[in-house]
Amino acid sequence: MKKVIYVTYLIACLDITWMFLQFSITPYLAKKLGFDTLWIGYLQTTVGVVQLLGGPLFGRFADLFGARAAMCLSCSANVVYYGLLAIADSPLKLFIHKLPAVFMHGLPGAQMVVTDLTEPKKRAEALGKLGLCFGIGMVAGSTLGGTLSTRYGGTFAACVAGCGSIINLLLVLKFIPKNTKIPTPQDNTDKKKSVFDLGEITRLMKFPSVARTFTVKILSGLPSGIFQVMFSIIAMNFFHLEPAQNGYLMAYFGIVSMIIQGGVIGRLTASYSENTLLLLSIGMSSLVGLAQAFMTNVSQFCVIVLPMMFSLSVFNVITDSMLTKSVPSSDTGTMLGLCASVQSLLRTIGPTIGGFLYQNYGVASFGLLQFVVNMTVFVVMLRNMPSDKNEHEK
């Protein structure tokens, strides 16, 4: 079991590496093809829409056919995605290359395996270690992408990502078991149900505290999601970074994330309740937004990154852990797919909102929005904290 989990961490690390390698190519390729800020936002929205539609279905697919089948589907979609990127020499082809993203859910697939193979009380720590893999992949992918695209061009870098995804597919087939869930008497009846059964997906919202946690995840995550999808524009136009410099900055993000995910979250979850940590992350996120509103250069931003990555890491790990614990083990894949769809939702509406704010009010508006929204959520949750504790004890 431990071997499977360790290989899953490796697969997730490689998957994130190829993803961030691609992040260092796409904005500059789009600019080269004549995209302005608005059209780059449309490109980001395309990815958000297709992954928003695919996330819940991907999770449902994993619950019915196993996490290995789902991860194979994701790796295969990655190969097509990066292959299309390598040959994208027109705006239309650049949009078409985003379509396979509907099946690209490598990190949720890894979360499904880890969730199936760990006890609920150790789940937050295990998911946090997946976040450590995210940090490693961010460092490796950003650095590698910036270097390869500068020296050999974006086409070569995209081909490297495609070949890496083939390696991921082989690792999944070799080491991940066909079924990672504990068999239950309901398995035979579940197999007869369709992946596209929306009733089976939406019924999870009826479980206790699921709707409330999802609402918090969307509202509190929206401002930071807007900032993230607009960051490539901010890096080019506000910080005036070149591709290699942007890669180094993303690598710095990854290093900070690795320290937090690998050395901090596990200790926090062992000492404090998940409700307390959720409240802490939201409160800190509001202060981060206030700091972002007044930053003027990349040096100041590098300081802000420390609390920003802490709040984001704790928030994502804790909400995912709380949601998977709120549903039966047979539905954790669908729940993680829904969690992934939240991020896709933010990427769908984020570019539109972000483009409007950037064009009319500048970078400071992102921070002010984050401060106001998260402070409001923080106050509401703080007022309800006693009842939350009682519900948790029950």
* Tokens at 176, concatenated: 């991940």
pLDDT of residue 62: 85
pLDDT tens series, the chain, 394 aa: 788 889 999 999 999 999 888 877 787 788 788 887 677 777 877 887 888 888 888 888 888 888 899 999 999 999 999 999 988 888 888 889 889 988 898 888 898 888 888 887 778 778 878 878 887 887 888 788 878 888 888 889 889 999 999 999 999 999 988 887 766 544 444 444 666 667 767 778 888 888 888 889 989 988 988 888 788 788 878 888 876 777 778 778 878 888 887 778 878 888 888 889 999 999 999 999 999 999 888 889 999 999 999 999 899 889 988 888 888 877 888 888 888 888 778 777 877 788 888 888 888 999 999 999 999 999 998 887 654 445 444 4
* Letter string b/e over residues 249-286, b meaning 16 or more CB atoms within 10 A of that residue's CB: bbbbbbebbbbbbbeebbebbeeeebbebbbbbbbbbb
* Domain extents in the chain: 2-178+200-393
pTM of the model: 0.75
* Tokens at 317, concatenated: 């790990």
pLDDT of residue 121: 77
Closest CA to 28 of 245, 243, 251: 243
Residue type, 194: S
* CA distance readout (Å), 171 to 19, 54, 72, 165: 17, 23, 10, 10
Distance of CA 284 to the CA centre of its chain: 19
Rg (CA), the chain: 20
Contact present, 221 and 346 (Cβ < 8 Å): yes
The dihedral through the CA atoms of 62, 45, 19, 98 has a sign that is positive
Three-class SS of residue 230? coil
- For the chain, the 3-state helix, strand and coil shares in percent, each to the nearest 5, are 85, 0, 15
pLDDT of residue 257: 80
296 Cβ neighbours under 8 A, 6+ residues apart: none
pLDDT of residue 370: 94
Phi-psi region of 240 (alpha: psi -120 to 50; beta: other; left: phi over 0): left
pLDDT of residue 192: 47
pLDDT of residue 165: 94
Quote the CA–CA distance of 274 and 381 in Å, as a whole number. Answer: 13
For 2-178+200-393, CATH number out of 1.20.1110.10, 3.40.50.1370, 1.20.1250.20, 3.40.50.300 equals 1.20.1250.20
pLDDT of residue 37: 67
Quote the CA–CA distance of 46 and 100 in Å, as a whole number. Answer: 11
Closest CA to 281 of 262, 309, 254: 309
